[in-house]
Amino acid sequence: MIRSLPYSKTYGLSFKLYIILYFTFLFAPLLVTCVLAFNDSQFPSLPWKGFTFEWFTGNLPERVGIFHDQINLDSIWVSVRVAFFVTLLSVSVGTCGAFLFEQEDFRFKPVLYFLMLAPLVIPGVILGISILMFSTVLGIHFEETWKLDVGLFRPGFWLVVLGQFSFIATLVTLVVSARLRKFDRTLEEAALNLGANRFEVIWYITLKFLRPAILGSAAVAYLMSFENFNTTLFLVGSEATLPINLYLQVRDGSTPVINAISFLLIVGTSLAALANLYFSRKETQ
């Protein structure tokens, strides 16, 4: 039963046990990954051979730590850049979308709204292949008609950005819309009445109000982009993003460097998540 009702001891205990099991299930793989990042062994497995930082800082021929592992470092840098542009694009377009669907009226609005939701139901793999095919068709068309070789149409950095943006923008639109729906539109009228034009109203009043939602969705967009695999898999060119790069390594046998990277990712994203939570709590208070 619920906390305000009396319940039997067995009920309480078994429920508690279940929750403990659930959390073990949740954290076991992450914990093991982190711990093995510090094992002084050539393989990410037990037995424990002693504590070492070498998988982070080492620079020996047989043991290259992550800080000296150029390929992995490069892929992190690619991911950082991709995520930056994806966030920028999806937050700006998603915010436009929120304004469009919440505040404007036009014909075919339900159709467009449905289209906006579509990326939620399209598997990421399909998004990836359809964008890949379409860009290739466009590329061939440009080349045959105008003898133009447009780099954007080949798998690579910008195609990855576009592919990830295509569904992350939906997420931003939904998050910002939810907040915009709570906005009291008389505030806009009040600002108009005090002499602000439409642009100033949006800038000083509406966007200020939306700020927590925009910042929150930007953080989520960044993380989603940083971790995306399914869509990216088909669009990636010579510059592999971190998940793609890690996938190739994991598939072909792994070293504790992957644990070290995972450790950094776990710590980094946890801190980011905590910070995001902290600030969003603070904003809403």
Partner 1 sequence: MQIDLSVRNVTKKFQEFTAVDSVSFEVEKGRFFSILGPSGCGKTTLLRMIAGLTEPSSGTIEIRGESMIGIPPNKRPVNLIFQHLALFPMMKVGENIAFGLQRRGENKTVIKKKVQAILERVDLLGFENKKIDQLSGGQKQRVAIARCLVLEPAVLLLDEPLGALDLKLREQMKVELKKLQAKVGTTFVYITHDQSEALVMSDSVAVMNHGEFEQIDTPQNLYNKPKTPFVAQFVGDNNAWSGRVRQCNESTIEVETVDGFIFSTKVKETLQPGTEVDLFLRPEAMLIQPDPNISNLNRFEVVVKSILFDGANSQLLANPLNADTELLIALPQNRQYDYIQVNDKIEIGWDEESGICFPRK
Partner 2 sequence: MKRQTRWGLFLFITPVLLWLFLLIVLPHIDLLIMSFRTENDSGDMMWSVSNYLNFFHEPIYWLTFVRTAIYSVLVTLLTFIIALPVAFYITKVVAPRFQGFLTLLLLLPFWVSELVRVYGWMILLRESGVFNHFLLKLGILNKPIEMLYNDATMVLGLVYTSMLFMVVPLLSVMESLDNSLIEAAYDLGANMWTILFRIIIPHATPGIVSGSIVVFMLTLGNYLTPNLIGGKNSLWFTEQIYNQFIASFNWNQGAAFGFLLLFLSSIAVWLGLKLTKQSLRKVVQ
Residues that bind partner 1 (CB under 8 A): 184, 186-187, 189-197, 200, 204-205, 208-209, 211
Residue 52: φ, ψ to 5°: -150, 150
Return the residue of 142, 158, 229, 279 that touches partner 2, per CB under 8 A.
229
State how far the Cα of 160 lies from the Cα of 230, in Å rounded to an integer.
11
**Is 1 a binder of partner 2 (CB under 8 A)?**
yes
CB-nearer residue toward partner 2: 17 or 59: 17
3-class state of residue 51 by DSSP: strand
State how far the Cα of 264 lies from the Cα of 283, in Å rounded to an integer.
28
The 186-225 site mask, x for binding partner 2 (CB under 8 A), equals -----------xx------------------------x--
C-beta neighbour count of 194 within 10 angstroms: 9
3-class state of residue 232 by DSSP: helix
Residues between 35 and 64 with contacts to partner 2, criterion CB under 8 A:
36, 43-47
Q: State in angstroms the smallest separation of the CB of 265 from partner 2.
A: 6
CB-nearer residue toward partner 1: 16 or 198: 198
Return the residue of 52, 230, 255, 280 that touches partner 2, per CB under 8 A.
230
Return the residue of 83, 160, 169, 235 that touches partner 2, per CB under 8 A.
169
The token duo for 52 is 């070492």
The token duo for 71 is 């390929």
CB-based contact 187:202 (threshold 8 Å): no
3-class state of residue 64 by DSSP: strand
State how far the Cα of 275 lies from the Cα of 280, in Å rounded to an integer.
8
Q: State in angstroms the smallest separation of the CB of 212 from partner 2.
A: 17
The 76-115 site mask, x for binding partner 2 (CB under 8 A), equals ----------------xx--xx-xx--xx-x-----xxxx
